[in-house]
Structure 1
Amino acid sequence: MHIDLTGKIALVTGSNAGLGRQIAETLAASGAKVAINYLYGDPVEAVEAIRQAGGEAHAFKADATSPAELDQMVKEIEAHFGGTVDILVNNAGGMIKRVPNAEMDEEHYNKVMDVNFKSCVFACKAVAAGMIAKKAGKIINVASLAAHDGGGPGASIYAASKAAVWSYSKGLAKELAPHGINVNAISPGFIGQTAFHATFTADAARQATIAKIPLGREGAPQDVGRVTLFLASELADYLTGETIEINGGLFMR
């Protein structure tokens, strides 16, 4: 069955690189008009890759941790594409750096919680009115395997922020279900080909983790993009409040 998102407007936060970019490209390949959100870096390459593949995309700069900037960005997206957001993927996030709890300070705590959790909450708030008005919408929040196992060394606050995303998704799913809106989360495990593990995971640790994965390989960004596409489509119309694990069997519930 071909998934057709023609006419749908999708916002993917933090999508000029990494998993967000792959998710944006996957949604665009199925016909969605994609809003590439970024704060740092140059979004031109991400936008042009979609356009050259025959898709439609436009870049919107906004700090996903700022409710005011999120609200303004959504207004700009609506004006540019001529409609309200149909699909929201809350991908913006990061570990920032590994910090043991004994060395934790309030600044680091706030940065991690803001980029991973606050951004998710207020992006959902920014698009909810438009979705409620048309009694339809798909929200996909990006959690992490760390939400279940606490993450690696120095990642306790990152893990906690992703666990908050997981729990929040369930509560929001109940709140928005009467309005025809589906809210789900994805929980990527060890996904290669991105800057995350290149930055935070030593090669020896990477190889040791891969050796534990039942499917025998690390994940690829495409693995995450395809599951996100499923949740954004009508195939997932009767699925809400769930978290889909994308980890090759490394963690099973």
Structure 2
Amino acid sequence: MKIAVLGVGGIGSTFAAQLADAGHDVTVIARNRRLEQVSRDGGIRTADGVVATTVAGELPTDVDFDLILVTVLAHQVTPLLPRITASRGRTVMFMFNTFDSLSTLQDAVGDRFAFGFPAIAAQIDADGVLRASIQSRGVLTTVTDAQWAEVFTAAGIPAVTTSDMESWLRSHAAFAAPFMITVAEAHRAQRGISWSRARELAAAKDEAFALVRELGNEIIPAMHAVVGKVPATLTAGLLWVASRVPAARATGAAGYAEPRALIDAMMTVANRSLPALARVRPQS
């Protein structure tokens, strides 16, 4: 199949490498330093070598892609929508953390719309080498389209489907935002967070899950439902410990942009004060 991957950070690069290695015709669209890296390498460089792909600086609008996979951060997608809309991709799958309603994206691309969430931990090191870990147990990569779940699974990214992606994403964001703040703060300070800060972040998690329920969304999948019911003291303990685990702390290198955007989206959707989330929202 002919596939374009728009945004080749850790997640997009993992999909591009796995899909190309499985025999698909993959085009990666990158910008700035990442474009220089993939152009130099002729594809995605992993610890095992380079997986060859076509490289482009912008999404072609004259190519009949079977799939356009959009893996930029949620707040980066708006300026890309005109070109995505003008493209000839048969399916456009957005794949990122978001708390917003999916209706805007769906309206932009019509019946070509699909959405997914990656169960992948991945980073690009300073030399442009992809380091990735693909989840194969527990919460798997989740998408709205069964065909693409099969394609991803066959390419070594185990995937399942859900009919209620909005509930899935909001459930995930409710815990992900406090967790990402935890590891980002620990990474920046190079030490674990304080107990008082862990309690603040646990309260933010509880407030976020309460908002998800208030909006009428189901807490899914089962693992998210369990996390949502964990008492605040236990949540605080888990965050306190996570901030002291080197592997968890390393993921905080991604910084504050994503959790800040998630909290901002929660506040916009709630249209009311969310004091616990406001207290932990990163300012920079």
Band the TM-score falls in, shorter-chain normalisation: 0.3 to 0.5
Q: Which has the higher contact order (CA 8 A, sep 6+)?
A: 1
Q: Which has the larger radius of gyration?
A: 2
Length-normalised TM-score, structure 2: 0.41
Length-normalised TM-score, structure 1: 0.45
